[in-house]
Amino acid sequence: MVRRRVTITDLAKKTGHSAGTVSKALKGAKGIAPETRDEIIRAARTEGYIVNIQASALRSGLSRTVAIIVTDIANPLFAILIKLCISRLETYGYRAILMATEENASQEEQAIVSAIHQNVDGVLLCPTQKSRAGIELLRRNRVPFVLLGRRDQRDAEMDYVVCDDRLGGYLAGQHLVSLGHERILVVLPNDEISSAQERLEGFSQAMAEAGKELRGEWILRSEATGEGIGRRVLDALKANDGCTAVFSFSDYITWEILYALSGANIRVPEDLSIVSFDNVQSRLCFPPPLTTIHYPKKEIADRSVDLLLARIQDPEKPWEHVMCESYLVVRETTAPRK
């Protein structure tokens, strides 16, 4: 006997909520308590509820498709965020189109044009921040969007979800100073990337509060992709004799640094301590265990998707700026200065 398709009415009976409430919860509409929405989503998964996308599109005029545009899909952090975003979108009956910009403003603009051509309902965007052309294109075409992981503090008229990068940088600096490190190499992309700027601000604050100097020559700028950074770190360590620690912008960059250090017989943490950022190992377990700042990946993915779907439902609602807390995870790449 073929089992009939699970309906919204079935989910209403299962959860004890009205069919209207169930429908709104699955669409990500506003006015539904978070605990009610989560209960309904769990029931939909358990019962095997599948949205009839064609019927829904005919009724609503929506494609039930979202574009996820990130800078570098080779970075494990983005791979994890994409997976979490897709999972969240699927609970609402949405599909995702994935695109990467390689930190290139022109490619970002092309990706947004492609998303608009494919009639997406909205865009989750990690911006390159090298140009505002992409964001202005979304605005001109009235496409709902949420910035993911980066923000523009000069422009409040957009939604974003970020981690507390300044706090993360502060905790990294505080940890290294507590271990006795004073000469610390900082590896970051350019300040045009908001997360890099804010992490440096937090790190500088921790150093200043401890009465420690952060010299300009100890700040090493890199591409966000980390390409070629291992050799440049080795050169910087030679040029700045006495540096005993590194604060790295991301786990992705840190692994390239570690590879270069291994080839130069520099031991971590015996010869050099490293604090990283992202805590990719909360989801992917492989050596070495990094001391790192936790990036709240699931919270950021869930909040970003929920915020975008709410924006799709109500384009005129007030802008929301969400900052998720970061914290230090101590593992095996830091030790007291010798």
Q: Averaged over 43-56, what is the pLDDT?
A: 71
Q: How confident is the model at residue 2 (pLDDT cuts 50, 70, 90)?
A: very low
Residue 261 scores a pLDDT above 70: yes
The Cα 337–Cα 182 span in angstroms is 9
Residue 216 scores a pLDDT above 50: yes
Q: Averaged over 255-281, what is the pLDDT?
A: 97
Span of 58-62, 111-115, 294-298 with lowest mean pLDDT? 58-62
Q: What is the pLDDT of residue 1?
A: 39
Q: Averaged over 129-155, what is the pLDDT?
A: 94
Instruction: Give the largest Cα separation in the chain, rounded.
Output: 76
The Cα 144–Cα 142 span in angstroms is 6
State the pairing for strand pair 159-163/145-148.
parallel
User: In this structure, how many other beta carbons lie within 10 angstroms of the beta carbon of residue 254?
Assistant: 28
Q: What is the CA radius of gyration of the chain?
A: 22
Q: Averaged over 158-163, what is the pLDDT?
A: 98
| Dihedral of the alpha carbons of 41, 44, 47, 52, in degrees to the nearest 10 | -160
Q: What is the pLDDT of residue 56?
A: 57
State what percent of residues in the chain have pLDDT above 90: 79
Q: Which two tokens stand for residue 335?
A: 């030790």
The Cα 197–Cα 187 span in angstroms is 12
The Cα 288–Cα 294 span in angstroms is 16
Residue 57 scores a pLDDT above 60: no
Q: Averaged over 299-318, what is the pLDDT?
A: 97
Average predicted confidence (pLDDT) for the chain: 93
The Cα 231–Cα 229 span in angstroms is 6
Domains and CATH numbers, the chain: 1-50 (1.10.260.40), 61-163+297-324 (3.40.50.2300), 165-295 (3.40.50.2300)
Q: Averaged over 135-146, what is the pLDDT?
A: 96
Which SS3 state, helix, strand or coil, does residue 174 take?
Answer: helix
